[in-house]
Amino acid sequence: MRALRALDYEVSFAAAGIIPCGAPYYSCVEDVLCRQARSFDLVYLHRGGNADKYLALARTHQTKQRLVYSV
């Protein structure tokens, strides 16, 4: 996240099991991706399991962003 901030991205963080983008505003990662449709410049998916769960949803609702995947 620091590296992305250094590249001048504004970084929001939503992860399975951690809820910084959470209650009372968001209930889960899916909720963040859907309700913030087309608002992010970049979606970073960390680890294969998360990419499997959220890639299609990110592509559907975050149509103008870059998708970054990392182990």
pLDDT in tens, 18-34: 556 777 888 888 999 99
Convert 17-36 to b/e letters by CB count within 10 Å (16 or more is b): eebebeeeebeebeebbeeb
Query: Maximum Cα–Cα distance for the chain, whole Å?
Result: 30
Read off the pLDDT of residues 35-48 as tens digits, 9 standing for 90 and up. Answer: 989 988 888 898 88
Cα 62 to Cα 1, 16, 24, 42, distances in angstroms: 19, 18, 22, 8
Cα 12 to Cα 42, 63, distances in angstroms: 10, 17
